[in-house]
Amino acid sequence: MAYLTENDVQDYINGICFKTGPPGRVGAETEWLVRDPLRPREPVPLARLSALIEQIGPLPGNSAVTYEPGGQLELSSPPLPGPAAAHAALAADIALIRTRLRTAGLLLDGNGLDPRRPPVRQLSLPRYAAMESYFHSAGCDTGPLMMCSTASLQVCLDIGADADDAARRWRLANRLGPLFVAAFANSPIHRGRTTGWRSTRWAIWDAIDPTRTRPAACGDPVAAWTGYALGARLMTIRDDTRPWVIDPGMAFGEWIARGGPRRPTREDLAYHLSTLFPPVRPRGWLEFRMIDALPARWWPVPIAVAAALLDDPAASAAAEEALDRLAGGAEPDRGLWERAARAALADSDLAACARTCFTAAAEGLGRMDAAELAGVVDDYREHFVERGRCPADLQHLEIAA
């Protein structure tokens, strides 16, 4: 059996996490809270939900169906050529599932955080049992909420054509993070009360363990992600013959150096990487993880905006200039992330950056044969961005009423 060195970690990340090739494919993962209007404060039993989904059979857009620990429903599209194709596939699958669940008295709720129900873990897989135990051991009080009560929309885009392109796209994706938190914030309520955050989901994830949720550096992507992986705390050491070791009290790099309680393998590295949750995560593609789940009308917008800003050269250039004005050419600091999650587009600087980026994205979509999506992006821009607000602000208005 081959045991790991730090050089092996870097080689794996270079060859697997940052595998390059012609960009243009787009995928997305939409997570949904599922509610029973007749039992608004109770979780929908996962057995009931999964039985309904299984009755549907294969989905027309070939989305994969999975479940998060609290019973959140996740639909993941295959990688498809461009945002229009990804949208069409997911839209067909979401519509079919929404209709089937509605006939059974259940609703899909596009919200970044369950506004009323307490967290209840319904999946008993070893991964989630270990995760729950780790958060308890590490004093991460928001861990159960993260696992069982949050929902996101994740956009997946190619790494890049070559190493230089990958570095450009990595930097741009990470710099776009606070803007996407602000523009798509949709989780201002918890247990029926406003929290003071427009994206409470971001605050929950940020609080669980900074070694696995903080943003990665915007510099050389392989070096940045290698350092991140080595410095992140081990969640667990798995064992097929005995109980897993939960929270061993060391980072992955320390495990390599110590070599105990057993020496880590390539499989351990792959598992460790799957327990890291930064806003942008490289997995052979770039995974945007900072976006709150959105209502049915608006979920296509972040997919379209992210794809246009990374894949269309003119839109990329406009975004880079706007981000330079926002952050002075620097990497986003913690203050900017917090402003994005609290104030969202009520922050005038974030709002100005968003206006430029959304306009550039809509124009780029027109050049990418995605005119229908350009129209949806323009609608979102007019409804929210130009008014300095986000979907969370509508929930604030509902609470006030």
Q: What is the dihedral of CA 366, 372, 377, 381, to 10 degrees?
A: 100
- Evaluate whether residue 397 is within a structural domain: no
Q: What is the pTM of this model?
A: 0.97
pLDDT at 225: 98
pLDDT at 401: 53
Look-up of token digits 């780790």: 134
DSSP class of 191: T
For 332-354, the pLDDT digits (tens) are 999 999 999 999 999 999 999 99
Look-up of token digits 């300095």: 388
| DSSP, residue by residue, 40-95 | TTSPPPHHHHHHHHHHH-S-TT--EEEE-TTS-EEEEPPPEESHHHHHHHHHHHHH
DSSP E strands, 138-261: 153-158, 189-190, 193-194, 236-237, 245-246
| DSSP, residue by residue, 273-307 | HHT---SEEESSEEEE--PBP--TTTTHHHHHHHH
The domain that holds 118 is classified in CATH as 3.30.590.20
- Evaluate whether residue 398 is within a structural domain: no
**One-letter amino acid for residue 192 of the chain:** G
**How many domains does the structure of the chain reveal?**
1
| DSSP, residue by residue, 28-49 | EEEEEEEE-TTSTTSPPPHHHH
Q: Which of 181, 155, 99, 152 is nearest to 373 (CA)?
A: 155
Q: Which residues make beta-bridge pairs with 32?
A: 73
Q: Which residues make beta-bridge pairs with 26?
A: 80, 157
Encode burial over 208-231: b for 16+ CB neighbours within 10 A, e otherwise.
bbeebbbbbbbeebbebbbbbbbe
pLDDT at 399: 61
Query: What are the tokens at 287?
Result: 């995974």
User: Do 344 and 185 touch, CB atoms closer than 8 A?
Assistant: yes
For 21-73, the pLDDT digits (tens) are 999 999 999 999 999 999 999 999 999 999 999 999 999 999 999 999 999 99
pLDDT at 400: 55
User: Do 23 and 316 touch, CB atoms closer than 8 A?
Assistant: no
Look-up of token digits 């549907």: 56
Residue ranges, the chain, pLDDT below 70? 1-2, 396-401
- Evaluate whether residue 176 is within a structural domain: yes
What separation in angstroms does the CA of 18 have from each of 161, 224, 331, 339? 11, 11, 20, 30
Task: Find the domain containing 88 and state its range.
Answer: 6-390
User: Do 100 and 56 touch, CB atoms closer than 8 A?
Assistant: yes
- Evaluate whether residue 399 is within a structural domain: no
- Evaluate whether residue 32 is within a structural domain: yes
- Evaluate whether residue 400 is within a structural domain: no
User: Do 75 and 90 touch, CB atoms closer than 8 A?
Assistant: yes
- Evaluate whether residue 401 is within a structural domain: no
- Evaluate whether residue 395 is within a structural domain: no
Query: What are the tokens at 335?
Result: 């203050």
